[in-house]
């Protein structure tokens, strides 16, 4: 499907932006230079009549994105968390994309549930409401179970959503190929790999059985987190196109007036949002990858409730340590160490100058370190970061895309709750706690204990494995002769000693 015919899709994208009036709004929000504005108008105006008209009742950008389809709506959801980038008015308009899109008929939702669960809807639910929330991929209904009367939130995929996403992603691949062809300098950003990552994330959202599993794992990991909870998973109501979780009563984080009226401390909520994300990413290596305001609620008792687990991120232990050391270095203003970590992890090519990179990082960190969110321009910061990555030949790390994107979204959510929040001060205790536990001598002992734990599991087979490995070596006069069985047993005994040492260390940690 990925061919030149996608030119038509991209032309209609630009035409829709022009026809709905979104083009001018976006250019104003980006503070685009006159040349770019002129080029956009010249290229967009002739094709204006080819664009989708959308819903005239909606503001221009929201109207354009909803007309273009679910993949574009996802992009708009991200922008809705960044008033510092797109402006407060546009960000507020885009919040509609989080959970207030036009719903599809209840009758279709009921038929989908019956097909997935193989039971008449009346046997499953005694009550089933109109949609209470509708987003790009699915909508949610409030229902009551027929057997025990418990309230649940039932999520149902939109009809035809799979085909719609495939069509959008297909066009995105074509655009990425064209960008790489026409702009060789952009290849370091790996646009095609970025789209491939996006496609993988979306495919995970389109199977609600995987979301049910993700919710259960996330709930288990965070069970001990004070002031945070995940709705109860209803496994028996889990299917590919429909699922249910326990109903969570609360105020959405995008309803600031209701939060204030209920007497909740917005500053404390902002800090909790950011710290919880960092704790889940660093401690568990498993985090909510779509933490916009529409997926977070405040319970009457002040607890933060997470919803919608279709996009979850995971990072391995090594990457967590790298990420923590980079944050810790910025917090301590140790830019030399931040630079060294980038080189050690391979994020910066080895032929670059570590001292020059440290100075570049200082130029990023120092101007914003002591500023609260209201005095910091995220747009300028992101632009400067892009210039630094280009100068030092840094390529896009696809394994970090979701982590970085979520960090931007979470910081935007926290900023909306408390415009004066200092993100470094809030992040410091979480990062320091992780560093104490996972970087330094204690981490070495932990790693040794884990390594020896692996040895303990294969201990009984060590003599056999050593002999087998050595017997496979080719004859070489410069190599030692094959060891005897007694020598092999000696090696195994040394392995056993290491295992015992690991067990003893484990008792001390």
- pLDDT tens column, 335-394: 899 899 889 888 888 889 999 999 988 887 787 666 665 565 555 565 566 677 778 887
DSSP codes, 31-64: T--HHHHHHHHHHHGGGGGGS----TTS-HHHHH
CA distances 499 to 23, 458, 467, Å, are 65, 10, 20
The residue segments making up the domain with residue 76 are 6-98
pLDDT of residue 500: 47
CA distance linking residue 42 with residue 23, whole number of Å: 12
Domain end, chosen from 98, 128, 155, is at 98
pLDDT of residue 507: 42
pLDDT of residue 31: 64
Task: State pLDDT tens for residues 265-319.
Answer: 999 999 999 999 999 999 999 999 888 888 999 999 999 999 999 889 898 888 8
CA distance linking residue 282 with residue 321, whole number of Å: 8
Domain end, chosen from 395, 415, 439, is at 439
Please say whether the beta carbons of 249 and 151 come within 8 A: no
- Does residue 53 belong to any structural domain of this protein? yes
Question: Do residues 420 and 503 both lie within one domain?
Answer: no
pLDDT of residue 273: 94
pLDDT of residue 442: 63
CA distance linking residue 443 with residue 451, whole number of Å: 12
CA distance linking residue 94 with residue 399, whole number of Å: 28
Domain end, chosen from 74, 98, 122, is at 98
Tokens 């968390």, located at residue: 81
pLDDT of residue 174: 77
pLDDT of residue 259: 95
Tokens 């967009």, located at residue: 44
The alpha-carbon radius of gyration of the chain (Å, integer) is 27
Question: Do residues 339 and 455 both lie within one domain?
Answer: no
Question: Do residues 312 and 453 both lie within one domain?
Answer: no
pLDDT of residue 497: 45
Please say whether the beta carbons of 52 and 79 come within 8 A: no
User: DSSP label at 294?
Assistant: G
Please say whether the beta carbons of 291 and 306 come within 8 A: yes
pLDDT of residue 24: 78
Question: Do residues 445 and 435 both lie within one domain?
Answer: no
CA distance linking residue 348 with residue 357, whole number of Å: 9
Task: Mark out the alpha helices in 347-440 (DSSP H runs).
Answer: 354-369, 378-391, 401-417, 423-438
Number of domains within the chain: 3
| Continuous segment of H or E residues that includes residue 215 | helix 208-221
To the query of whether residue 290 is one of the catalytic residues in this protein, the response is: yes
Question: Do residues 473 and 420 both lie within one domain?
Answer: no
Reported pTM: 0.74
pLDDT of residue 470: 63
Q: Taking the alpha carbons of 47, 48, 54, 59 in that order, is the dihedral positive or negative?
A: positive
Q: Which of 170, 290, 308, 418 is catalytic?
A: 290
User: DSSP label at 232?
Assistant: P
Question: Do residues 466 and 420 both lie within one domain?
Answer: no
Can you list the residues of the chain whose pLDDT is less than 50?
A: 474-475, 477, 480, 482-483, 485-509
pLDDT of residue 199: 78
Question: Do residues 260 and 403 both lie within one domain?
Answer: yes
What's the gap between Cα 393 and its chain centre?
Answer: 24
pLDDT of residue 501: 44
pLDDT of residue 203: 77
Paired residues of 144 in beta bridges: 127, 151
Structure tokens at 181: 């062809």
């Amino acid at each position: 499907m990925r061919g030149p015919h996608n030119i038509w899709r991209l032309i209609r994208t630009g035409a829709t932006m022009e026809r709905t009036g979104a083009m001018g709004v976006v250019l104003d929000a980006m503070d685009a230079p006159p040349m770019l504005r002129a080029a956009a108008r010249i290229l967009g105006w002739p094709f204006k009549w080819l664009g989708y008209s959308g819903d005239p009742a909606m503001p221009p950008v929201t109207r354009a994105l909803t007309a273009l389809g679910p993949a574009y709506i996802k992009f708009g959801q991200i922008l809705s968390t960044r008033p510092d980038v797109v402006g407060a008015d546009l960000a507020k308009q885009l919040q509609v994309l989080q959970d207030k899109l036009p719903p599809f008929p209840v009758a279709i939702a009921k038929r989908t549930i019956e097909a997935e669960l193989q039971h008449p809807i009346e046997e499953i639910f005694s009550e089933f409401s109109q949609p209470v929330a509708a987003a790009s991929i699915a909508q949610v209904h409030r229902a009551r179970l027929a057997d025990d009367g418990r309230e649940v939130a039932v999520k149902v995929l939109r009809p035809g959503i799979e085909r719609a996403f495939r069509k959008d992603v297909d066009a995105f691949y074509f655009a990425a190929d064209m960008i790489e062809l026409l702009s060789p300098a952009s290849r370091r950003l790996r646009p095609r790999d970025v789209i491939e990552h996006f496609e993988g994330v979306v495919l995970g959202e389109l199977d609600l059985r995987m979301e049910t599993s993700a919710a259960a794992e996330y709930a288990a990991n965070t069970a001990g987190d004070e002031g945070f909870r995940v709705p109860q998973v209803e496994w028996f109501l889990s299917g590919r196109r429909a699922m249910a979780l326990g109903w969570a009563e609360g105020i959405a984080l995008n309803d600031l007036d209701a939060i204030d009226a209920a007497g909740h401390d917005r500053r404390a909520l902002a800090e909790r949002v950011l710290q919880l994300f960092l704790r889940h990413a660093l401690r568990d290596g498993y985090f909510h990858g779509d933490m916009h305001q529409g997926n977070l609620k405040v319970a009457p008792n002040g607890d933060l409730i997470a919803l919608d687990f279709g996009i979850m991120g995971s990072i391995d232990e090594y990457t967590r340590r790298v990420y923590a050391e980079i944050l810790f270095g910025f917090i301590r203003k140790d830019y030399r160490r931040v630079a060294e970590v980038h080189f050690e992890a391979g994020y910066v090519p080895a032929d670059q100058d570590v001292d020059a990179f440290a100075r570049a990082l200082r130029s990023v960190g120092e101007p914003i370190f002591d500023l609260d969110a209201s005095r910091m321009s995220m747009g300028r910061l992101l632009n400067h970061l892009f210039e630094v990555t280009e100068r030092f030949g840094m390529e896009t790390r696809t394994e970090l895309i979701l982590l970085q994107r979520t960090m931007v979204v979470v910081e935007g959510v926290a900023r909306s709750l408390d415009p004066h929040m200092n993100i470094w001060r809030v992040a410091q205790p979480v990062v320091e706690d992780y560093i104490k536990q996972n970087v330094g001598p204690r981490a070495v002992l932990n790693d040794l204990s884990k390594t020896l734990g692996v040895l303990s599991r294969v201990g009984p087979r060590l003599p056999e494995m050593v002999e087998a490995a050595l017997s496979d070596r080719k004859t070489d006069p410069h190599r030692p002769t094959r060891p005897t069985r007694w020598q092999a047993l000696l090696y195994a005994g040394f392995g056993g000693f290491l295992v015992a040492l690991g067990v003893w260390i484990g008792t001390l940690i």
